[in-house]
Amino acid sequence: MVLVLISTFIKMINPWHLYLMAGLYVVAGLMHFIKPKLYMRIMPRYLPLHKQLVYLSGIAEIFLGISLCITSLRLISIYGIITMLLVFLLVHFYMLSGKKAAAGIPKWILLLRIPLQFGLIYWAWIYLS
């Protein structure tokens, strides 16, 4: 319903699901600045500069989400999203390494996140053609 209203006022030249993906990455990126401690809790111990990496990944998600909607930047954005999601797999696997790393999240949810990550990679991949 909301998309129908938006598309009446804004000529949507891309499929609605591309805008949905872009919005998800922008919101996810903003969350890195709204709740940075949440993300710092799940950072692998072997990575340096946790706070800076949390902010940097937030900036990357926001930039990649916005650039998905810009035709001339879409291709590089898709490759950037795929690369980012592959790097984020490090965090997902790290969280499975122990109770403290899991940050209180049940193991079944942590396991579910891995195929979800590959689903997000596939979702980005389909826009390459």
What is the pLDDT at residue 14? Answer: 72
Amino acid sitting at position 112 = L
Helix, strand, coil share (%) of the chain residues, nearest 5:
75, 0, 25
Read off the pLDDT of residues 9-24 as tens digits, 9 standing for 90 and up.
Answer: 445 577 888 999 999 9
What is the pLDDT at residue 31? Answer: 97
Burial (Cβ within 10 Å: 0-12, 13-18, ≥19) of residue 34 = exposed
pTM, two decimals, is: 0.84
Read off the pLDDT of residues 54-98 as tens digits, 9 standing for 90 and up.
Answer: 999 999 999 999 999 999 999 999 999 999 999 999 999 999 988
| CB-based contact 80:41 (threshold 8 Å) | no
Mean pLDDT of all residues belonging to the chain = 89
